[in-house]
Amino acid sequence: MPPFFPMEVLITRSTAVGGVHLEAGETHDLSDKDAVTLINMGKAVEASEAPACPPNPPKAKKAKKAKVVVEETETNDGTE
């Protein structure tokens, strides 16, 4: 079995490694294999390359209000 060389990474998108949930903005020591995999997937960066402030998660979009449409209809007796 090859030796384990931990690599410190900053998680940029929440993910799971080895059944453990890793939240965006956290730093973790991972095996080289796991760290390189996450970096290649765009879910982590090496901690030495990480910005001083972790990226902010995108803001949730507000739901649009439904417009009320009232249509005039004629009745059988000719009135509206």
pLDDT value at position 12? 93
User: Which token pair is 53?
Assistant: 């402030």
Report pLDDT digits (tens) over 37-56: 999 999 999 988 655 565 66
Computed over every residue of the chain, the mean pLDDT equals 81
> What value does the mean pLDDT take over residues 31-38?
92
pTM as predicted = 0.56
Pairing state of beta strands 27-31 and 20-22? unpaired
Structural contact between residues 45 and 12, judged by C-beta atoms closer than 8 angstroms:
yes
Domain boundaries, the chain: 6-49
Residue 35, sorted as left (phi over 0), alpha (psi -120 to 50) or beta, turns out to be alpha
- Assigned CATH for 6-49: 3.40.5
